[in-house]
Homo-oligomer: A and B are copies of this chain.
Amino acid sequence: MTTASTRTVRKPRFDSLFQEAYLNLWRTYDRLKVVEDELFVRFDLSAQQYNALRLLEAAQPGTLPTLALGTKLISRAPDMTRMLDRLEERKLVHRERKPENRRVVEVGISPVGLSLLEELSGLVREGHKRQLGHLAARELKQLIELLQAARDPHEEPGGRWHKPPRD
């Protein structure tokens, strides 16, 4: 990540502060993701599938249209259909088309899905603590604030991850 240099420094060198920040973000996410993956692999689940189940849990007893669920996910999911295929195959979610608009597929969490989330609840909480438990509340809030500022120009206005204006 550095241009050719005769200096024998062993720490990374960066082209710009912007690049340094982004590579730190990438590296940090990569390191912490490992902790999360270790947990979810035991349940044969990806972090994104877990995310989807949580969103459906929040919507119940209601359901969410496929597209709406997709926009609420933390990370991009260009193939919602297959993702939901796999969750439905395990009976974690149920899907149906309403007669009012047969283009739309409504997705809901199933009792099996709710049970799985119940089982995961404490473990996920512990996992996040293992990831970031060494930081103080003040540092965490600061980090959140800066991450929000960092990505705001890249969020949809009005989107759920868009920072609301401060009065």
Contact = CB atoms under 8 A, between A and B. Distances in A.
A15 B125 contact: yes
Interface stretch (A5-13, A79-87, A88-96, A100-108): A5-13
Nearest to A11: B160
A17 to B, nearest CB: 5
Given A3-B57, A15-B124, A30-B74, A22 B154 contact: no
Nearest 8 A/B pairs, CB to CB = A18-B128, A31-B154, A29-B29, A24-B147, A30-B75, A19-B128, A28-B151, A31-B151
B155 A31 contact: yes
Interface of A: 1-5, 10-12, 15-36, 47, 51, 54-55, 57-58, 60, 74-76, 121, 124-125, 128-129, 131-135, 137, 139-144, 146-155, 160-161, 164
B58 A5 contact: yes
Contacts of A149: 134-135, 139
A65 to B, nearest CB: 16
A150 B135 contact: yes
Given A10-B160, A22-B132, A143-B143, 15 more contacts: A15-B125, A17-B137, A17-B140, A17-B141, A17-B144, A18-B128, A18-B140, A21-B140, A26-B29, A26-B74, A28-B148, A30-B74, A31-B151, A32-B150, A143-B147
